[in-house]
Copies of this chain bind each other. A is one copy, B any other.
Amino acid sequence: MTDIDTVRPLRARDVDTWAHTADVVVAGYGIAGVCAAVEAARAGADVLILERAGGWGGAASMAGGWIYLGGGTPLQKALGFEDTPENMEQFLLAAVGPGADEARIADYCRGSVEHYEWLVACGVPFREAFWGEPGWEVPHDEGLGYSGGENSAPFNTLAKPAPRGHVPQYSDKRPGQRSGGYMLMKPLAETAEKLGARVEFDTRIRRLIVDDDDRVVGVLATRFGERVAIRAERGVVLATGSFAYAQSMVQGYAPRLIGRPAAAIEEHDGIGIRVAQALGADLAHMDATEVAFFGDPQLLARGILVNGRGQRYVPEDTYGGHIGQATLLRNENQAFLVIDERSYEEALATVTATPFFRQPPTWACESVAELEAEIGLPSGTLQSTIEVYNRHAADGHDPVLGKKPEWVRPIGTPLAGFDMRNFTAGFTLGGLRTDLDSRVLHVSGEPIPGLYAAGRCTSGLCAGGYVSGASLGDGSFYGRRAGRAAAKDG
């Protein structure tokens, strides 16, 4: 029918045949797409979801499943944690900036309890159990945990710590319940389909279709090599995920992530961003990246992490995403974990959700001087770092970085070193600029008629920093908004 080697919009008058028509067309069947579909259907719209893969899920169903919610959710309350929207807002502003969209964060925090209840009403299961140990994920089926360093320095002094990582209950042992993210997607997909949302799998969007007034009225997609035009009577929702796998976009916008995508899927090729840019859509925070750090949190909290100059640079007991960002973005991806034998053995005896992060030490030494030389650090640097650390640790505190007293203990001998250079990878957080109704904004500031977006093809809550659960959080929250707004459009 027409060229697909461009992301330029196609004019509706140049379309010969419409393969499908719906009120609301949702591109992408991950977390943002499914929530848009549910809400659009509930608002009375005839919904068609287009998914490039052969089934629902997107990156969400591969995820651990943290959803960042708070302000006093029933789960927080049941487990004895106090939280308010204002407290949550205060934390997020500190953790996800600088440059965070303050209006969006306030909006998200105020709507968070309702959003939790909505998820539960859709059938998402949360078990009333708290996981309090450092970790990237919960090890069993606990429903709540710290997922953003809320209880670690410096955030524990900036807002009252409250855990906000909500995890749908899953079980490795029960078939079809393979992760928290999967158990988030499954009931939502079932809800969408029960509400009558139709789905076309193996259908990949390529271009937007616009009428003569530049209103978005559909998408051009490909299905097994064939071009299909799909008409949207009320609106198109872009929910196609990040650009972590779009090499030229990563090079141009977020080059520190070159060669290290993670927690993203290959379908994340930035297409939603590019088709909207071709219509003059504005962008935001294109450099922002989540950065995972592949070290076991139980080991990290008990040791010290030093950079290529033998200096500590991050509280080792904080959220791994903060450690990842501090390592990749501020310390040239140079990281060495130093831990003494006693703490190492103690860590190994603990439960972790990420046993595959527990590697044997790179070096084992009888003295700090020996380890310093083995690692190849400038002479005296690690020794003086440990000397200062130990002096304060003897009093049970860490004035340099504020690691919590429970993890602070002088480092003895023998001791081990782990080479954790290049232990980072992540996904992109930047994307389309949208308003709080998930309308895609033109660079002029006005919404682009008929076009909505949510999830990681948009710039959501996070400007620079990241907390686990922010993506499933803003994807689901603003996915709903997109569905509702699109259903009422036109």
List chain A positions with a Cβ less than 8 A from chain B. 6-8, 97-99, 251-253, 255-256, 258, 274, 277-280, 282-287, 309, 311-313, 329-331, 378-381, 384-385, 387-388, 391-392, 399-401, 433, 442-444, 446, 459, 463-464
Please determine whether A255 and B380 come into contact, CB atoms closer than 8 angstroms: no
- Name 20 A/B residue pairs within 8 A (Cβ), A-sorted: A7-B444, A8-B442, A97-B255, A98-B255, A99-B258, A252-B284, A252-B433, A252-B459, A253-B284, A253-B287, A256-B464, A274-B443, A274-B444, A277-B280, A278-B280, A279-B280, A287-B287, A309-B313, A329-B330, A330-B330
Residues of B close to A286: CB separation below 8 A: 253, 283, 286-287
Is chain A's binding surface mostly helix, strand, loop or mixed? loop
CA of A67 to CA of B342 in the docked complex: distance in angstroms? 58
User: Given A329-B330, A444-B278, A446-B6, is A388 in contact with B384 using a C-beta cutoff of 8 Å?
Assistant: yes
CA of A81 to CA of B312 in the docked complex: distance in angstroms? 40
Residues of B close to A277: CB separation below 8 A: 277, 280, 282, 443
CA of A113 to CA of B391 in the docked complex: distance in angstroms? 58
A253, A283, A284, A331: residue with the most chain B Cβ atoms closer than 10 Å: A253
Q: Which of B8, B251, B378, B387 interacts with A99 by CB under 8 Å?
A: B251
Residues of B close to A280: CB separation below 8 A: 8, 277-280
Residues of B close to A255: CB separation below 8 A: 97-99, 285, 463-464
CA of A279 to CA of B387 in the docked complex: distance in angstroms? 59
Residues of B close to A446: CB separation below 8 A: 6
- When C-beta atoms are compared, the residue in chain B nearest to A282 turns out to be B277
Please determine whether A443 and B278 come into contact, CB atoms closer than 8 angstroms: yes
- When C-beta atoms are compared, the residue in chain B nearest to A275 turns out to be B443
- Name the distance in Å between A42's Cβ and chain B's nearest Cβ: 32
Please determine whether A252 and B309 come into contact, CB atoms closer than 8 angstroms: no
Residues of B close to A251: CB separation below 8 A: 99
- Name the distance in Å between A38's Cβ and chain B's nearest Cβ: 30
Please determine whether A391 and B400 come into contact, CB atoms closer than 8 angstroms: no
Q: Which of B274, B311, B330, B400 interacts with A378 by CB under 8 Å?
A: B400
Residues of B close to A283: CB separation below 8 A: 252-253, 283, 286
- Name the distance in Å between A275's Cβ and chain B's nearest Cβ: 9
CA of A211 to CA of B89 in the docked complex: distance in angstroms? 48
- When C-beta atoms are compared, the residue in chain B nearest to A310 turns out to be B400
Please determine whether B401 and A391 come into contact, CB atoms closer than 8 angstroms: no
CA of A279 to CA of B444 in the docked complex: distance in angstroms? 11
- Name the distance in Å between A459's Cβ and chain B's nearest Cβ: 8
Please determine whether A99 and B331 come into contact, CB atoms closer than 8 angstroms: no
Please determine whether B399 and A391 come into contact, CB atoms closer than 8 angstroms: no
CA of A275 to CA of B378 in the docked complex: distance in angstroms? 51
Q: Which of B7, B309, B387 interacts with A312 by CB under 8 Å?
A: B309
Residues of B close to A284: CB separation below 8 A: 252-253
Residues of B close to A278: CB separation below 8 A: 280, 442-444
Please determine whether B401 and A98 come into contact, CB atoms closer than 8 angstroms: no
Please determine whether B443 and A400 come into contact, CB atoms closer than 8 angstroms: no
Q: What 5 pairs between A and B have smallest CB-CB spacing? A: A99-B255, A287-B287, A384-B384, A252-B284, A378-B399
- When C-beta atoms are compared, the residue in chain B nearest to A433 turns out to be B252
Please determine whether B433 and A285 come into contact, CB atoms closer than 8 angstroms: no
- When C-beta atoms are compared, the residue in chain B nearest to A391 turns out to be B380
CA of A241 to CA of B311 in the docked complex: distance in angstroms? 40
- Name the distance in Å between A252's Cβ and chain B's nearest Cβ: 4
- Name the distance in Å between A476's Cβ and chain B's nearest Cβ: 23
With A99-B258, A277-B280, A379-B399 given, can you name 4 additional A-B contacts, CB distance below 8 Å? A8-B444, A253-B287, A280-B280, A381-B388
Residues of B close to A444: CB separation below 8 A: 6-8, 274, 278
Residues of B close to A6: CB separation below 8 A: 444, 446
Residues of B close to A311: CB separation below 8 A: 309, 311
- When C-beta atoms are compared, the residue in chain B nearest to A309 turns out to be B400
Residues of B close to A379: CB separation below 8 A: 392, 399
- When C-beta atoms are compared, the residue in chain B nearest to A277 turns out to be B443
- When C-beta atoms are compared, the residue in chain B nearest to A102 turns out to be B251
- When C-beta atoms are compared, the residue in chain B nearest to A279 turns out to be B280
- When C-beta atoms are compared, the residue in chain B nearest to A252 turns out to be B284
Residues of B close to A258: CB separation below 8 A: 98-99
- Name the distance in Å between A195's Cβ and chain B's nearest Cβ: 35
- When C-beta atoms are compared, the residue in chain B nearest to A3 turns out to be B444
CA of A387 to CA of B282 in the docked complex: distance in angstroms? 51
